[in-house]
Structure 1
Amino acid sequence: MKSFVLALALALLPALPALAAPAVPPELAQVQQRVARPALLRADFVQEKQVAGFRNPLRSQGQFVLAQERGVIWRTLKPFPSDVVLTRDRILSRQADGSVQVEVDGRQQPALRAINAMMFALMSGDVQAMSASFEVRAELLPNNGWRLHLTPRSAMLAKAFASLQLEGDQYVRKVEIEEANHDRTRLSFDNFRLAPPLAADEARSLE
């Protein structure tokens, strides 16, 4: 998860500020209506990254917590424990030994708020925010399901990503990223829950 978050951050830093979200077409608005936006959301994730030249994908799994207006904590449990924390002002990683490294600092990169908005958009299915950086095509599926196909609007973003695909219903269930170098990352989410509230250590991480 760390590699995906940082790749997205580095790609969006120079690209997002100049872009404005276009009006949302009716079919995208229907997707927006189907997606829940709870104040706090927890779920389990599995990530598989297929790297060119390797037969088997690199697999990791863990949990995340999304606190609206505060940030996201990605907690990888296997194969190696680590955390990635995204807030308004920074992206940092924390290793199993407790060491912390600031990967992107908002004091040096004012566009970090745009990255924050983009990560929230991907996790929560916020079509309006995604439309600022991607051409978005929607499919409406049975049982209130949906699928979004995203292609980068800017040449800068296209250097990192060829396309993204999101699928879900009330929540985002699957994300597939095809990088410009043809590596692929697949994320699947399940066991969604709205509780418990942020623990003390989680709240401190998001300050």
Structure 2
Amino acid sequence: MNRFLRTLGVLLLLAVCAPAFAAPGADVDLVKQRVAKVGVLRGEFNQDKQVAGFKNPLRSQGRFVLAQDRGVIWTTLKPFPSEVVVTRDRILSRQRDGSSRVELDGRQQPAMRSVNAIMFALMSGDAQALSAQFVVKVEALPDNGWRMQLTPRSAMLAKVFSALSLSGDRYVREVQITEANQDVTRIHFAALSETPAQLSADEGRRFE
């Protein structure tokens, strides 16, 4: 299974287990003030997954499109071309050459609908949304930078995650997910752009 789909599976479990509680405060407000609110954000990613007991990490890289009103297109270019599209109602995984396709329908798995919001929160630095599932601690950094440390609120979440952290400035630059088994995924975002502000015709079709 695509590594990104595995990460989504962990996030789906988070969505199912998360308590309906939010505690916005001064720290959360700092991040809200510094992170850009954009309709469409494009960029590149490098992802390393360090599996406990293995010397070398699993590496992948590619590009993404985050559209606030549609979802996320996550296109892996290396080591194997593939694409995952996350919308409000489904997760679609496919090979770029069209040779295979896996679709998970949110109408059959209602909890999946929460994955969209969690993905947006991680990629857009939505501290208030993340505070529904985690205790959030924020550190202000120079040049309008920030770092968030996230600790699971519930014992059930703690069985999945040890900790999460995000850092950035106007945008989220890095996400680190430490699972309870000590596997660590680091995602670094680069070449981020808010333009063009609308999806292209091709990007729009890929959400369909």
Please give the range of the TM-score, normalised by the shorter of the 2 chains: over 0.9
CA distance in 1, matches of 2:48, 2:182: 14
| 1:89 to 2:92 alignment | no
Structure 2 match to 1:142: 142
Which amino acid letter does the alignment assign opposite residue 2 of structure 1? Answer: L
Q: What's the secondary structure of 1:129's corresponding residue?
A: helix
Conserved in 1, the CA contact under 8 Å of 2:15 and 2:118?
no
**1:71: how far off?**
0.1
Conserved in 2, the CA contact under 8 Å of 1:35 and 1:171?
yes
CA distance in 2, matches of 1:20, 1:112: 19
CA distance in 2, matches of 1:100, 1:81: 13
Structure 1: 5+ residue stretches without partners:
none
Q: Deviations over 1:93-143 (max 9, x none)?
A: 1113312101x3211222223221111011101111000111110000010
Q: What's the secondary structure of 2:16's corresponding residue?
A: coil
Would you identify which runs of 4 or more consecutive aligned residues in structure 1 move more than 3 Å?
none
Q: What's the secondary structure of 2:138's corresponding residue?
A: strand
CA distance in 2, matches of 1:14, 1:153: 14
Structure 2 match to 1:198: 199
Q: 1:12-31 residue pairs with structure 2 within 5 A?
A: 12-16=14-18, 18-22=19-23, 24-31=24-31
**1:27: how far off?**
2.1
CA distance in 1, matches of 2:83, 2:31: 31
- Counterpart selection for 1:3 from 6, 18, 21: 6
Q: What's the secondary structure of 1:177's corresponding residue?
A: strand
CA distance in 2, matches of 1:195, 1:170: 15
Which amino acid letter does the alignment assign opposite residue 158 of structure 2? Answer: A
Structure 2: 5+ residue stretches without partners:
none
Structure 2 match to 1:34: 34
Conserved in 1, the CA contact under 8 Å of 2:61 and 2:79?
yes
Size of the aligned set, in residue pairs, is 203
| Identity percentage of aligned residues | 60
Moved more, 45-54 or 187-196: 187-196
Normalising by structure 1, we get a TM-score of 0.92
CA distance in 2, matches of 1:3, 1:190: 22
Q: 1:143-158 residue pairs with structure 2 within 5 A?
A: 143-158=143-158
**1:8: how far off?**
1.2
Moved more, 136-145 or 187-196: 187-196
Structure 1 match to 2:164: 164
Which amino acid letter does the alignment assign opposite residue 101 of structure 2? Answer: V
CA distance in 2, matches of 1:84, 1:161: 23
**1:52: how far off?**
1.2
